Amino acid sequence: MNTYKGCHTSDRNNSHQNSIGNMKSVLVIAAILGTAYCRPQDFQQNLQQAFRLASPIYITRYIFDQNPFQNYFYSYEQSDGQQKEERGEFRQGQTPDEVINAVQGSYSYVGPDGQNYNVKYTADENGFQPEGEHIPPSAGVKPKLGISSAALASLSG
């Protein structure tokens, strides 16, 4: 009588486990190669650009003046060509308790495209209103609420 010892079964299990192990190894190697292939090829150059120090920018001119009535004027200019100037004053609003801080100013800077940009602005009870050739007209539209600022203040509590 022949008995079946199961030798063939264990050989089959070992070969099946070996194939799974080989497939896992192939997948790991493929993942490593894929990651290495996808990395930025100019990594060293990108790293140098990311950590490149910009040249320092200095304030070359600065003026600040404030009078006892809290009106003020300031102006500055930087070594990179950026400039700003602003004048502010407090004025009486529509009611005796209402005081409005009205500001007029301008600033200029050199954009990333190398062009010089100039902006003039007003900020008062009508909001911030910038003007510049590069600013779309809708950015400076004045709100038309028809409600006094005192009435708005009473609504907000």
Walk along the chain (157 residues) and give the pLDDT tens digit of each residue: 555 555 555 555 666 667 777 788 888 887 887 776 776 666 666 666 666 667 888 999 999 999 887 899 999 999 988 999 999 998 888 888 888 889 999 999 988 888 999 999 999 888 889 999 888 876 555 555 566 666 666 666 5
Same-domain status, 115 and 83: yes
Q: What was the pLDDT predicted at 112?
A: 84
Q: Name the residue among 82, 128, 83 with its Cα closest to residue 104.
A: 128
Q: What was the pLDDT predicted at 149?
A: 64
Q: What was the pLDDT predicted at 70?
A: 81
Same-domain status, 130 and 84: yes
1 lies in some domain = no
Same-domain status, 133 and 75: yes
Phi/psi for 106 (5° steps) reads -155, 155
Instruction: Catalogue the E-assigned strands of the chain.
Output: 59-66, 72-78, 83-92, 99-110, 116-124, 127-131
- Could you list the residue range(s) of the whole structural domain that residue 110 is in? 59-156
2 lies in some domain = no
**Counted domains in the chain:** 2
Same-domain status, 88 and 41: no
Q: What was the pLDDT predicted at 93?
A: 83
Same-domain status, 146 and 78: yes
Q: What was the pLDDT predicted at 99?
A: 87
Same-domain status, 97 and 142: yes
Instruction: Please give the Cα distance from 155 to 76 (Å, whole number).
Output: 39
Strands 59-66 and 99-110: unpaired
Torsion sign, CA atoms 108, 111, 117, 120: negative
- For residues 62 and 51, the answer to whether their CB atoms sit within 8 Å is no
Q: What was the pLDDT predicted at 73?
A: 95
Same-domain status, 20 and 83: no
The two structure tokens encoding residue 32 = 């490593």
Side chain identity at residue 142, one-letter code: K
Q: Give 125-133's long-range contacts (Cβ < 8 A, gap of 24+).
A: 125/93, 125/100, 125/149
Q: What was the pLDDT predicted at 123?
A: 92
